[in-house]
């Protein structure tokens, strides 16, 4: 179990130090800003959404390793997904990190398996907001918000 925990921590640190899809993708047509005032996390999500599919997604921001790793992992997983697939994955991910199994099996299990490294945040309720900030911000971007999302 400790080896598994070490692997998870290593993956979070890797994505936190070297986030994937960091930056604004060319042709982004949806965006939103999010912040977590308690932790100081800030994130901007940029999406190129065409024909009902996420064609490209990126983010910019700063924050703790958990928020940056979650954003990085989210962008990798969402390439090629529809808005409906994102919404289902969002619900399952939120249940995963908040400690509920209500939505288990409702989405692409491979995608959810990749996000299991963040399940440990459920032991630290303040960190759930760090892990879900990018997801809430992505949700606002897909809703064509340009909104400002906050965890408070």
The residues spanned by each domain of the chain are 2-147
At 101, is the pLDDT very low, low, confident or very high (cuts 50, 70, 90)? low
Q: Which CATH number is associated with domain 2-147?
A: 3.90.1010.10
Q: Name 44's bridge partners.
A: 33, 60
pLDDT at residue 10, as a whole number:
85
pTM assigned to the model: 0.88
The owner of tokens 């009902």 is 52
26 vs 105, residue with greater confidence: 26
CA distance 30 to 33: 11
35-49 pLDDT per residue, tens = 999 889 999 999 999
At 106, is the pLDDT very low, low, confident or very high (cuts 50, 70, 90)? low
Q: In this predicted structure, which of 7-21, 78-92, 131-145 has the lowest mean pLDDT? A: 7-21
Q: For residue 42, give the H/E element and its range.
A: strand 41-50
The owner of tokens 């400690």 is 99
pLDDT at residue 111, as a whole number:
83
């Amino acid at each position: 179990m400790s080896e598994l925990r070490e692997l998870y921590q290593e993956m979070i640190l890797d994505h936190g130090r070297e986030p994937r899809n960091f930056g604004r993708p060319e042709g982004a047509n949806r965006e939103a800003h999010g912040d977590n005032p308690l932790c100081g996390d800030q994130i901007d999500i940029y999406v190129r959404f065409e024909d009902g599919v996420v064609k490209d997604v990126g983010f910019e921001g700063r924050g703790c390793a958990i928020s940056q790793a979650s954003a990085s992992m989210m962008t990798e997983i969402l390439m090629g997904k529809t808005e409906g697939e994102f919404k289902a994955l969002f619900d399952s991910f939120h249940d995963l990190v908040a400690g509920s199994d209500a939505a288990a099996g409702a989405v692409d299990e491979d995608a959810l398996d990749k996000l299991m490294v963040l399940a440990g945040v459920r032991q630290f309720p303040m960190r759930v907001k760090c892990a879900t900030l990018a997801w809430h911000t992505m949700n606002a971007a897909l809703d064509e918000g340009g909104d400002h999302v906050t965890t408070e």
